[in-house]
Amino acid sequence: MTTRAERLVNRVRDAATLLFVPGDRPERFAKAERAVADLVVLDLEDAVAPERKVYAREQVVAWLGEHPHCAVRVNAAGTPWHDEDLAALARFRCVVMLPKADPVGARTAAGELGVLPVLIALIETARGVLDAREIASVPNVHRLALGTFDLAAELGVDPVDVDALAPARGALVLASAASGLPGPVDGVTGDLRNTERLTGDVRYARQLGFTGKLCVHPLQVSAAAAALRPSREEIRWAHSVVTTAGDGAVAVEGQLVDKPVLDRARRVLRQEKEGLRR
């Protein structure tokens, strides 16, 4: 039987869609859960004005008492609210998302949260990108996520420019793989009602190795989940490889298939199975 901590870790590692909801809007908490995102993230940071930070924390703490499966994005280290956010969450053993993550901050937060916290490191600074491998190696970090808007602002580029942020995305994919983490979670698509744009963003990120998407509106959840699933052609290819491949290298539809190709095919089929369970 798995423990609650193990279930939280699996929930974070398997999550394809993560939906933010402002922490000072408690009337939206239940609606966010009905959106069927893999993980609801109650936000104490960007979505909450400074004068409402304490109120938001109170509302989130009250909700966590009966809904401990939610995640919480705390305020960044160095802000007036960070330490109190961590202190308030320590007794809940919930998933915590750390904004503007760096190695020291991740280790410090893990210590302040107590026994076996489950952390998502939100990488949204140039320093965070360069330190992504070290952040991913912090024992309590179980997923990396990319904060495209803050990072783009620091770099002086447009957050929708995929070329400008390609090095950052690649760094997170490599850091995650090197540390044995699942593929990272891609940043927000700001055009809330443009499903075509959202789908294109998700498919591009998936091609790079991302396996999740940050959402800021319930309408984005189902479209993001669909775009993260393997296509019919990928599934057909994976089935043909798995059913044909043997112990050595063989040709399938004129293409060489050896162990790395077989491993990829099996991964596609696992993604299909996980998608069907959602």
CB distance 115 to 82 below 8 Å = no
Residue 41: per-residue pLDDT = 98
> What is the helix (H) or strand (E) element at residue 141, kind and residue range?
strand 141-146
**156 and 117 Cβ atoms separated by less than 8 Å:** no
Contact between 106 and 98 (Cβ < 8 Å): yes
Q: Which range is least confidently modeled, 36-45, 88-97, 100-109, 248-257?
A: 248-257
For 183-215, the pLDDT digits (tens) are 999 999 999 889 999 999 999 999 999 999 999
Cα–chain center distance at 258: 31
Spatial separation of the C-alpha atoms in residues 66 and 169, rounded to whole Å? 36
pTM of the model: 0.88
Q: Is the pLDDT of residue 42 over 60?
A: yes
Question: Would you say residue 249 has pLDDT above 80?
Answer: no
Q: Which pLDDT value is given to residue 74?
A: 98
CATH for the stretch 4-228 = 3.20.20.60
Consecutive H or E run containing 86: helix 82-89
pLDDT at 255 over 80: no
- In this prediction, residue 176 carries a pLDDT of 98
Of the pLDDT bands very low, low, confident and very high (cuts 50, 70, 90), residue 267 is confident
Strand partners, 122: 145
Which uninterrupted H or E stretch holds 173?
helix 162-178
What percentage of the chain reaches a pLDDT higher than 70? 88
| % of the chain with per-residue pLDDT over 90 | 75
Q: Which residues are annotated as a binding site for substrate?
A: 73, 124
Domains of the chain, residue spans: 4-228, 230-278
The yes-or-no verdict on residue 259 having pLDDT over 60 is: yes
Q: Which residues contact 154 (CB under 8 A, 6 or more apart)?
A: 125, 126
Question: What mean pLDDT is predicted for residues 56-75?
Answer: 96
CA distance 249 to 231: 25
169-187 per-position pLDDT tens digit: 999 999 999 999 999 999 9
Q: How much is the pLDDT for 251? A: 61
Mean pLDDT over 50-75 rounds to: 96
| Position 145 confidence tier, pLDDT thresholds 50, 70, 90 | very high
Mean pLDDT across the chain? 90
Cβ(129)–Cβ(157) under 8 Å?
A: no
Question: Residue 101: is its pLDDT beyond 60?
Answer: yes
pLDDT score of 1 more than 60: no
Give the integer Cα–Cα distance in Å for 75 and 48: 10
Q: What is the pLDDT of residue 228?
A: 93
Residue ranges for the known binding site for Mg(2+) are: 124, 150
Helix (H) or strand (E) holding 261: helix 259-277
What number is the average pLDDT over the span 94-106?
Answer: 97
Helix (H) or strand (E) holding 120, with range, is strand 118-123
Closest to 57 measured CA to CA, from 31, 96, 12: 96
Q: Check whether 256 has a pLDDT greater than 80.
A: no
Query: Residue ranges for the binding site?
Result: 73, 124, 150
- CA dist 110 and 86 (Å) reads 9
Determine the Cα–Cα distance for residues 153 and 60; give it in Å rounded to an integer: 29
